Amino acid sequence: MDSIHAHYPYWVVLTLLVIGLWGMLLKGNLMKKVVGMTIFQSAIILFFILSAYKVGGTVPIYDEALGVGDPSLYINPLPHTLMLTAIVVGVAIVGEALALLIVIYRTYGTLEEPVLVERMK
């Protein structure tokens, strides 16, 4: 119990991951797959950000009072910057997915996968 309590953020992340994956792979509506995908990606982003956290650290912007001598006073900025990039990537992917959904809807008139498979034959 202690380890769950101590690492509870990671368990949240794991839950989100599973929810996202479940949505992506097992839901029948294409839009819900996209939603699942977004949740999945968000979970990963959260994971990285969690890894950057240091107990007692502050925002990684130069603070005169703290100086630059002791890195443990600031949380690690690198994962944050990486995740900025990842968020942008995520946005691009969602955008493209939505564009594809528009085309699919225009062509087939549905976003439900079973109906779609039928109409594709």
Residues that bind another protein (CB under 8 A): 21, 24-25, 30, 33, 37, 40-41, 44, 47-48, 51, 79, 82, 85-86, 89, 92-93, 96-97, 100-101, 103-104, 107-108, 116, 120
Residues 30 and 17: their CA atoms lie apart, in Å, by 18
96: which 2 tokens?
Answer: 């493209």
Distance of CA 82 to the CA centre of its chain: 13
Shortest Å, Cβ 60 to another protein: 14
Shortest Å, Cβ 64 to another protein: 23
26: which 2 tokens?
Answer: 């097992």
